[in-house]
Structure 1
Amino acid sequence: MRPKRATQERAPIVCHKRARLEQSRTPGASNAARRGLAGLIAAVGLLVAAAPANALDKVTFGANWLADAEAGGFYQAVVDGTYQKYGLDVTIMQGGPHSNGGLYLLMGKIEFFMGGDMVGDFIAADEDLPMVVVAAEFQKDPQAILSHPGVGLDKWTDLPNASTAFVSQSALNSFYVWMRAVWGFRNDNVKPYNFNSAPFIADKHSIQQAYATSEPFAIERQGGFDPNLFLLYDYGFASYSTTIVTRRDLVQKRPDLVQRFVDASAIGWYHYLYGDNRKANELIEKDNPDMTDEQIAFSIGKMKKYGIVDSGDAMQLGIGAMTDARMKSFFDELVKAKLVKPDADYKKTYTLQFVNKGVGVELEPH
């Protein structure tokens, strides 16, 4: 997965203490006292002049994967100064396959973490974890299933008949449970997906899990064909994704900081999707040397095509939007699949306190 520093509380530059100057009744002593006071005032002035007028709050955002376009809005807000305008000095800590940003968040090593879909949050609803989702940058989870065209696997309802389903271990405990329960997908044809599409390319009658913005790019180039793509969102797996997660204590003690990070991140996404994103992409490629201009352009194109970031409620409420109705609808789907208990207190896993304010909507092209 992808993600550095603890929040630095703002402190006053100078601590003012009330002091009493004893003045002698003799003129010489009075002049000395005046000179001493003038010197003190001058020293304080120098201290204030040397200090930054507005100290930035240092925060670390832990990404859940290596740097890529799917984190582009956050990188954009770093490079174009949006975070700085909101009083934030943000460090993005990359994730990867062996990182655990959620643990870093719990330990207080980072302030914000990039979550995935809401499945894990709802499953853990009754565990009283001190974390809460404060925004959802993706209105649609990019999770998808791919198939080869023209071999009888061209419709969603054909897919359970595939000879092989390449599915990761984590998916077997998440969305694939829903696929089996609701749509009749099977376990007997499952083979492990290790984020290498070569086995799928070789087996024309197979299907494979994928991120709509990622794997199809490699398959088009390595396999020489454009795979069928079925976005799980379109068939009922309507989770938010790329969420912003923080600790409850930060929400309670520093709501202003949380609000500024949520707002600046939303604006970063508008700038990344619709503005000049070259510097953000340069930083992404610096952090992740395996990333290419072509892959980034592909991912941005797919995010726009499928309305991953800017669609649905986000069109009016702003990027990051969440609603109770949408959360309940997805929770009900997971109950149907027996992934969560019907009485789970799922509402405590998120808060609408910081979203749905229309921040940045004027930046969307019309």
Structure 2
Amino acid sequence: MSQPTSTRKTKIRRAARCAAVALATTVTGSAAMAQDALSLRLNWTMKGEFTPFVVAASKGFFAEQDLDVTVKEGSGATLALQSVATGQDDFAYVPSVQVIQAINGGMPIQAIATVSKVDSMGMVARPGVTLATPADLQGKKVEIAASSTFNNIWDAFAAKNEIDKDAVEVVAVNPGARFGLLLSGQVDVLADIFITNELPVLEAKAGESLDHIAVGDFGFPIIGYTLVARSEMIESQPEVVRRFLDAAKEGFEFVSANPADAAEIAVAAYPEQLMPEATIGQVEALNAFLAEGSPSALFVGSDEGWQATLETLKDTGVIDAFEAPGSYYTNAFVTND
């Protein structure tokens, strides 16, 4: 028996309303589950010391925080910071020196994590050359790039460590030729390397351990890498910033606990840029530097550490003046375990 027309219309209207509610629920649910699309700009091309971010992306740590993070290679700290300040990227991973210079210049950014409490800036000697203290630079041919941070502090470093500069032959070479000149014996020391980057690569090429020293061990302790965000994002999206740091922190913790596995993940993700032996060396060097300095808590900075860095940079002429440490960094978004 057929149903009255009015009854059929009523059922159709109810079905339509139910379908509309179901569709709305689906759309709303999808929106709630949508990941925040973010970008992290590195200060240079991919290298082993950036492995924690590769791990965070590859193992889904960012995704677990409802974040879709694109890790982008860079071409210098200053350009990375400019990209964040102008909103082209959301975060940058750069050394404290450039962060301080940028903020002093009015750039609207702040360090949201103090990653390396001690900078890995250092020097390395060619095979067969002793380099145990700064005094060993005397009588050597030493490469110092004109554009390097170390070039800015060379005079002060020499004075503090009582180096006779007249006894050191300083040369500047093409950046692309530095490794070859060192390993071929045409220069004795590269004085503007980073122990977490160039040293493992050079040792892999040389096939042996090389004498090296860290600048921070000889009177110039400064903070190393930081994570940076623009001021507007810090103010308007604090929970996004917090979730990003939680995921990045998990990446660093994984690398600390599983260096070999982490290096393997990085090499698999970037096979053309990363060589296995150098990458595991860079990861191990990164872990060693992350264990130095204070506070010991990952990503947490201190007024004392930033103040010491600011004073060192001012005393050596890298900066002319500085504000209170809180103008440069914050711990507000670091989750304490």
TM over 0.5: yes
For the residue of structure 2 that corresponds to 1:92, the secondary structure is strand
* Structure-1-length-normalised TM-score: 0.77
Q: Does the C-alpha gap of structure 1 residues 162 and 49 become closer, same or farther in structure 2, counting only changes over 3 Å?
A: farther
Q: Is the 8 A contact 1:56 1:84 kept in 2?
A: yes
Alignment correspondent of 1:179: 154
Match for residue 82 of structure 1 among 26, 38, 61: 61
Where does the alignment leave 5 or more consecutive residues of structure 1 unmatched?
Answer: 1-26, 360-366
- Between Structure 1 and Structure 2, the one with more helix by share is 2
Number of equivalences: 324
Alignment correspondent of 1:268: 251
Q: Is the 8 A contact 1:200 1:208 kept in 2?
A: no
Where do 1:79-228 residues align within 5 Å?
79-96=58-75, 100-116=79-95, 118-148=96-126, 151=129, 153-159=131-137, 161-171=138-148, 174-184=149-159, 186=165, 189-193=169-173, 194-195=175-176, 196-201=178-183, 202-203=185-186, 205-223=188-206, 225-228=208-211
Structure 1 range deviating more: 119-128 or 332-341: 119-128
The AA in structure 1 aligned to 2:170 is V
For the residue of structure 2 that corresponds to 1:308, the secondary structure is helix
State the 1:126 CA deviation.
Answer: 3.2
Where do 1:277-296 residues align within 5 Å?
278=261, 281-287=264-270, 289-296=272-279
Q: Does the C-alpha gap of structure 1 residues 70 and 153 become closer, same or farther in structure 2, counting only changes over 3 Å?
A: closer
Q: Deviations over 1:20-42 (max 9, x none)?
A: xxxxxxx9979856753552232
RMSD over aligned Cα, in angstroms? 3.0
Q: Deviations over 1:147-199 (max 9, x none)?
A: 2476564322332x24322122321xx23322321433649833225153222
Question: Which whole-Å CA distance do the structure 1 matches of 2:283 and 2:195 have between them?
Answer: 11
Structure 1 range deviating more: 119-128 or 81-90: 119-128
Whether 1:313 aligns to 2:313 is no
State the 1:275 CA deviation.
Answer: 3.1
Match for residue 19 of structure 2 among 25, 42, 51: 42
Question: Which whole-Å CA distance do the structure 2 matches of 1:291 and 1:345 have between them?
Answer: 39
Q: Is the 8 A contact 1:135 1:245 kept in 2?
A: yes
Question: Which whole-Å CA distance do the structure 2 matches of 1:345 and 1:314 have between them?
Answer: 18
Question: Which whole-Å CA distance do the structure 1 matches of 2:86 and 2:145 have between them?
Answer: 28
Where does the alignment leave 5 or more consecutive residues of structure 2 unmatched?
Answer: none
For the residue of structure 2 that corresponds to 1:295, the secondary structure is helix
Q: Deviations over 1:261-294 (max 9, x none)?
A: 1121111111122137647744545435031111
Q: Is the 8 A contact 1:68 1:288 kept in 2?
A: no
Structure 1 range deviating more: 265-274 or 237-246: 237-246
State the 1:134 CA deviation.
Answer: 0.6
Whether 1:71 aligns to 2:50 is yes
